[in-house]
A and B are shown apart, each in its own frame.
Chain A
Amino acid sequence: MITTIISIITAVLIFAGALLTLVASIGVLRLPDVYTRSHAASKSATLGIMFILLGACLYFFQKEGIFNSRLILAIAFIFLTSPVAGQLIIRSAYNRNIPMTDMTIRDDLKTAKMKSTDLE
């Protein structure tokens, strides 16, 4: 009984993870500029990979009775590093003056930067 429940949870986790990763890649194709693409890549891909790793951890725990702590560590590392990576990528894109999509309606950072150059 419990084995069935655990296998169902494992299957759902791995399927959800694969689905989220697929949606993230569709997002990278569909969204208009670097910044919005980074939204999709830094959120959906993170949770997708976390779900897949959790599913793998549960699978080996149930099938072979091994609790692989490395997978849990990997989940923690991805959780901590992936948002920072997204942040750094869009920050360097902004500093290289990569244009934003035409739909953009507001840019506070530009005004702040212009102010600071005026002061110099």
Chain B
Amino acid sequence: MAFQLLLNFLISFIWMFLKSSFAPDTFLIGYIIGLLLIFVTRRFFPTKFYLIQLLAILKLLWIFIKELIIANVAVLKIILQPKLAVTPGIFAMKTVLTKDWEITVLCNLITLTPGTLVLDISEDNSTLYIHAMDISDKEATITSIRNSFEKAILEVSN
């Protein structure tokens, strides 16, 4: 992804030198031409066309913001109900992610989802220990949400 982006910048600089005009709009036109060139030659690169990854990153950001707002409404409901009905607990969750940055992003996502907080990560990076506010019936739904997060992160990384 970084290589394709750098190549795209290089192409737009070459376009600027060919036109011998150094205005921002020339750069933009060169950038679009570079985008087309990279799209045409996309099968020579080992990774996917980088706009797809860019879209995946934007999707991840959208999930982040959406989950933050949902989590806050959930916490609001728990705190403001007259009788405190929480059944906290810690459960373990296996993860398929391996790279450090992926696990960090997953931890941040889980921390911002309703009623969950990452407590610890096992030594071999394979299990996350999560503290849940309401462990009783949530585990199944939490796992399903988790799968969607993991999928979104995997989409970015390959």
Chain A interface (Cβ within 8 Å of chain B)?
A: 20, 23-24, 26-27, 30-33, 35-36, 38-40, 42-44, 46-47, 79-80, 83-84, 86-87, 90-91, 94, 100-101, 103-110, 112
Q: A94 to chain B: which residues have CB within 8 Å?
A: 119-120
Whether the Cβ atoms of B79 and A47 lie closer than 8 Å is no
Tally of contacts, chain A with chain B, CB under 8 A: 108
In the complex the two chains form, is B120's CB within 8 Å of A106's CB? no
* A109/B92 in contact, CB under 8 A: yes
Q: Place the interface of chain B in its size category.
A: 20 to 34
Residue contacts A-B, CB under 8 angstroms, 29 given? A20-B72, A20-B76, A23-B76, A24-B75, A27-B78, A30-B84, A31-B84, A32-B84, A35-B88, A36-B88, A36-B133, A39-B131, A43-B68, A43-B71, A43-B75, A44-B76, A47-B72, A84-B111, A87-B117, A87-B118, A87-B119, A94-B119, A94-B120, A103-B88, A104-B87, A104-B88, A104-B90, A106-B89, A106-B90
CA distance A23 to B75 in the complex (A): 9
Describe A's contact surface by its main secondary structure: helix
Residue B86 lies at the interface, judged by CB distance under 8 Å to chain A = yes
Bound Cα distance A108, B120 (Å)? 11
Cα A71 to Cα B112 with chains together (Å): 21
**Which residues on the A side are within 8 Å of B115 (C-beta)?**
39
